[in-house]
Amino acid sequence: MPVSKKYFTRLVIVLLTVVSVNITAKAQTDKIEGLWYNAEKTAKIEITKDADGKFNGKVVWLKEPLKNGKPKVDELNTNEKLRSRPRLGLLVLNNFVKDGENKYGDGTIYDPLNGKTYSCNITYKGKTLAIRGYIGISLFGRTTTWERAE
């Protein structure tokens, strides 16, 4: 049974539409969006852009997700009420604003290994991110490098 020309034309139009929508969606993602390994490669952080245009990152994978047979929690948080929240799914990068071609600033980074939050800047360097956490001014801080996990 031959395929009608009308059916074939419709199929081609639908396929072209799907492909163009997919290409457009990928073009709209920012270069820091996606999965990143932390410096120690013990966690993967997914960075996304919110509707307000700010970038955030949450822990989506842990090399060792359990402690004593139970899911790891945010036990060192300075706020006692937050110490029982799971580390998996934890928001660690908050409210970054794009500041130039490869820089993101005005954000904070939360370190679950000591329970503290720091001011932070991110610099995109291709397959790596330079994450600079600091107190006060960035001169007094520490930079760590994250690698793309995708």
> Which pLDDT score, from 0 to 100, does residue 25 have?
45
Q: Give every CB contact of residue 136 below 8 A, 6+ residues apart in sequence.
A: 119
Average pLDDT of the chain? Answer: 88
| Domain boundaries of the chain, sorted by first residue | 1-30, 31-148
Rounded to an integer, the average pLDDT of 66-86 is 96
What CATH number labels 31-148?
Answer: 2.40.128.520
Q: What is the mean pLDDT of residues 92-106?
A: 97
pLDDT at 22 over 90: no
Higher pLDDT: 138 or 99? It is 99
pLDDT (tens digit, 9 = 90+) per residue, 107-148? 999 999 999 999 999 999 999 999 999 998 888 899 999 999
Please tell me the distance from the alpha carbon of residue 92 to that of residue 44, in angstroms, as a whole number: 11
pLDDT of 11: 54
Quote the CA–CA distance of 123 and 126 in Å, as a whole number: 10
Rg (Cα) of the chain, in Å, rounded?
21
Longest Cα–Cα distance in the chain: 74
Provide the pLDDT for residue 10: 66
pLDDT over 60 (residue 106)? yes
Q: Which residue has the tokens 């001014």?
A: 137
The two structure tokens encoding residue 38 = 């932390």
Beta bridge partners of 120: 107, 133
